[in-house]
Amino acid sequence: MNLWESVQVALEGLAANKLRSALTMLGVIIGVFAVIAMLAIAEGARVQMMSNIQSMGTDVVMVFSGGGGRGGGPARGGFGSSQSLTLDDAYAIADECPSVLKVAPEAGSNAQVKYRNVNTNTQVLGTTADYPSVRNYKVASGKFFSTSDVRSSSRVAVIGFDTATELFAQLTPVGKDIRINGSRFRVIGVLAQKGSQGGFGNPDDQILIPVTTSMNRLFGLENVRMISARATSSDTLPQAQEEITQLLRKRHRLATDAEDDFRIMTQTEFMSFANQAANIFSFLLGGVAALSLLVGGIGIMNIMLVSVTERTREIGIRMALGARRRDILLQFLVESVVLSLAGGGIGVLLGLLLVAWAGSFAAETLGSTPVVSMTSIVLSFTFSAFVGIFFGIYPAQKAARLDPIDALRYE
């Protein structure tokens, strides 16, 4: 018996028990469906993160508090594990680093914000007037606070799109007064909507105030948590990074052999970090989905064993008519593979339909749109075929090893 004849016999056998075949495929369908959907979610999150990092520009460096190895070594204590950066450090970078165009320090915390009887808890970030140009933000209405507002520690605020919607609904926020931890602030602007950062925070759910107001009048901070600096061009980015490093080491009075008490990261490093995180996320989601596919494979093996038992006399008759053991082995193995491939095909189709149908919903809830890659389709379909072969070998071998005489006597 050749392969095509084995496929025909397998299809006839499966067609004879349509309901059982459908229920057997259900496990594989759910498994492949889960693999497609989970990997699409992970890929969508990765694409969103890459897009958001790239939107910062190729000429931005970020300086974080916290020690790390020199020469780009890993941050030993993690970002923000020690508070080493000051507002004067930010001003010094702007004044003394020729390759740096603009600087925006950040200092703040989460706070309770209230407008009339509406309350929300959001991030209140203190920064300078250069923040929009350094971080690629735009003001949708009103204006951003000025350098004079920073110098005078003015109680003015620029709020994110989501925060404005939550606090003011359909009202115009500009010109209204809000209370941040009980202190009154005048809203002078609303930021344009940017969308979720896919794991890097939501820029639309925050309030920006002058950094001096944040540190001295609202939170009582002595240090800034990070400093963003835009180089004069992407070509001068390495030079700017070196200038910032040397300046901060000098200002912090670090010995020659001492490790940095800060960490500088560029867009390239952020993208590498985000890729690693996305790969781990994909692996975890794919692993969970693959478990359901393995469960489907166990279901196939169980049904195939039942099928071997039910068709024992048929096997004996075929052997008596000249069928070889490898023909019997091939027949049942092909049945198992056909079941898994059919389930895999249906699972891929359902996965694609779900991603297409739920794309907009996922974008709203997860902050990213699921993206189906050809790799995930090929991977899940191939894995379903492997499941059919792996879990079909034992039942097929059991059928092939039956003694013809005992099989003919089987009742």
Contact 136, 230 (CB under 8 A): no
Which residues on neighbouring strands pair with residue 229, listed in sequence order? Answer: 61, 103
Give the least confident one: 49-63, 70-84, 185-199, 324-338: 70-84
Q: Which residues contact 106 (CB under 8 A, 6 or more apart)?
A: 125, 126, 127, 211, 224, 225, 226, 227, 228
User: pLDDT value at position 365?
Assistant: 57
Please, what is the average pLDDT of the chain? 82
Residue 391 predicted with pLDDT over 70: yes
What's the confidence (pLDDT) of residue 199?
Answer: 47
Phi and psi for 189 in degrees, rounded to 5?
-165, 160
pLDDT digits (tens, 9 = 90+) for 89-129: 999 999 999 999 999 999 999 999 999 999 999 999 999 99
Using the predicted structure, report yes or no on whether residue 42 has a pLDDT greater than 90: no
| Greatest alpha-carbon span in the chain | 100
- Over residues 38-54, the mean pLDDT reads 74
Higher pLDDT pick, 170 / 155: 155
Provide Rg for the chain, Cα atoms.
31
Residue-wise pLDDT tens digits, 224-268: 999 999 999 888 888 999 999 999 999 999 998 899 999 998 777
pLDDT value for 77: 45
pLDDT given for residue 347 in this prediction: 86
Quote the CA–CA distance of 263 and 305 in Å, as a whole number.
60
Rounded distance, CA 131 to CA 206, Å?
14
Would you say residue 67 has pLDDT above 70? no
Q: ∠ at Cα 37 (31, 43), nearest 5°?
A: 130
Determine which of 7-11, 70-74, 270-274, 328-332 has the lowest per-residue pLDDT on average.
70-74
Closest CA to 273 of 38, 39, 53, 81: 53
| pLDDT tens by residue, 372-386 | 878 778 877 787 888
The two tokens of residue 24 are 């057997």
Q: Which of 13-17, 295-299, 358-362 has the lowest mean pLDDT?
A: 358-362
* CB-based contact 214:107 (threshold 8 Å): yes
| Residue linked to tokens 């034992």 | 394
pLDDT in tens, 180-232: 999 999 999 999 988 655 445 678 899 999 999 999 999 999 999 999 999 99
What is the pLDDT averaged over residues 61-85?
Answer: 62
Q: What is the pLDDT of residue 160?
A: 94
For residue range 316-339, what is the model confidence (pLDDT) as tens digits? 787 777 777 777 777 778 888 888
The model's confidence at residue 177, banded by pLDDT at 50, 70 and 90, is very high
The helix-helix angle for 325-366 and 374-400 (nearest 10°) equals 150
What's the pLDDT at 74?
42
Domain positions in the chain are 3-53+273-409, 85-251
